[in-house]
């Protein structure tokens, strides 16, 4: 296996030519949706509110898969939820998606594509760039989420309910991502004998 180019997502570097095979891509997308679903159910005690690991999973998957497969994985996850599968933290269905968390769900898709593009430019290979990419991805999710929530309850209330309580949890997940992605790259490099 040759040294991966900076435009190579982690999953492609790990799987080499298998990454381009449709069955592998479909498998990775389904595994990604399973990981996001499980992460939505993981409640980590934090103050002032508990956090799930959902945004962490989405951003790490986007960084590992790249923009196309990462975006397709999140789109598949949203389609599963729209079809009524209980993949979200509070259930599933179109009514759920139109509720207060609808903007965050839309932000997941945009964030996955943007973070995937950054990863394809090498931003997942060191902790500083990963930290910046994860911060950008998190900010996108909040812009969509709080923006939509503001149309339902007002801007001040949306910030108070949909942003402020989640700051420390987001900082934790961003820092965790900044540690995980470069480590994963070093493991892929070690496995390849680099």
| Mean pLDDT for the chain overall | 91
Residue 4 has pLDDT above 70, yes or no: no
pLDDT at 115 over 70: yes
Cα separation of 80 and 110, whole Å?
17
- Is 136:121 a contact under the CB 8 Å cutoff? no
Q: By C-alpha distance, which of 150, 119, 156, 155 is closest to 136? A: 119
Walk me through the domains of the chain, giving residue ranges and CATH numbers. 10-191 (1.10.1760.20)
- For the cut 80, the answer to whether the pLDDT of residue 19 exceeds it is no
Q: How far is CA 23 from the centre of its chain?
A: 22
pLDDT in tens, 78-96: 999 999 999 998 889 999 9
pLDDT, average across residues 150-171: 96
Query: Which pLDDT value is given to residue 188?
Result: 83
Please, what sign has the CA dihedral across residues 75, 76, 77, 78? positive
Above 70 in pLDDT, residue 97? yes
pLDDT digits (tens, 9 = 90+) for 32-67: 999 999 999 998 887 667 789 999 999 999 999 999
What is the rounded CA–CA span in Å between residue 107 and residue 147? 10
SS3 43: strand
pLDDT value of residue 193: 43
Q: What is the pTM of this model?
A: 0.90
pLDDT at 1: 43
What pLDDT, on the 0 to 100 scale, is given for residue 191? 58
Instruction: Answer with the residue of higher pLDDT: 192 or 83.
Output: 83
Mean pLDDT for 67-74 is 97
């Amino acid at each position: 296996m040759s040294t991966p180019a900076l435009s190579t997502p982690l999953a492609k570097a790990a799987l080499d030519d298998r990454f381009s095979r449709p069955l592998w891509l479909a498998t990775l997308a389904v595994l990604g949706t399973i990981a996001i679903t499980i992460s939505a159910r993981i409640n980590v005690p934090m103050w002032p509110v508990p956090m799930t690991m959902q945004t962490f999973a989405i951003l790490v998957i986007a960084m590992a898969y790249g923009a196309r497969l990462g975006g397709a994985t999140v789109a598949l996850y949203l389609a599963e939820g729209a079809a009524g599968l209980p993949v979200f933290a509070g259930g599933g269905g179109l009514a759920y998606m139109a509720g207060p968390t609808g903007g965050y769900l839309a932000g997941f898709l945009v964030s996955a594509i943007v973070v995937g593009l950054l990863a394809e430019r090498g931003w997942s290979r060191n902790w500083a760039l990963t930290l910046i990419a994860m911060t950008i991805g998190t900010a996108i999710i909040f812009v969509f989420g709080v923006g939509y929530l503001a149309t339902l309850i007002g801007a001040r209330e949306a910030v108070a309910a949909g942003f402020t309580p989640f700051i420390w949890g987001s900082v934790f997940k961003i820092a965790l991502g900044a540690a995980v992605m470069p480590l994963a790259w070093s493991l892929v490099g070690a496995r390849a004998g680099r």
